[in-house]
Amino acid sequence: MLHRIPPLVSRGYKPLKMSLEDQLKALIFFHLEEHVSGRHLLQVLEEDDFARENIAPEKDIKKSSFSEAINTRGLEQL
């Protein structure tokens, strides 16, 4: 079903660090695990083996890129 959704597009010169699938996985994991903040989620994505292998984007993502992706990208797709 994801193949029918328009792809995410970068709004500037920075390449995207997260795909829509990465974003959906992170949001679902965030709510299922009841994380208290995006910062806490990012810490878990770095430190927890399951989260790093199954939830985290392939490329490391910093707090600012993660926040931007979650707050401004994917609105049309979702």
Evaluate if residue 39 carries a pLDDT over 70.
yes
Report, in this order, helix, strand and coil percent for the chain, each rounded to 5: 55, 0, 45
Give the list of residues 6+ apart from residue 36 with CB closer than 8 angstroms, or none: none
Q: What's the rounded mean pLDDT across residues 73-78?
A: 70
Q: Which residue has the higher pLDDT, 9 or 1?
A: 9
Q: Which residue has the higher pLDDT, 78 or 42?
A: 42
Q: What's the rounded mean pLDDT across residues 15-44?
A: 86
Evaluate if residue 49 carries a pLDDT over 90.
yes
Residue among 50, 15, 10 nearest 33 (CA): 50
Query: CA–CA separation, 33 vs 41, rounded Å?
Result: 9
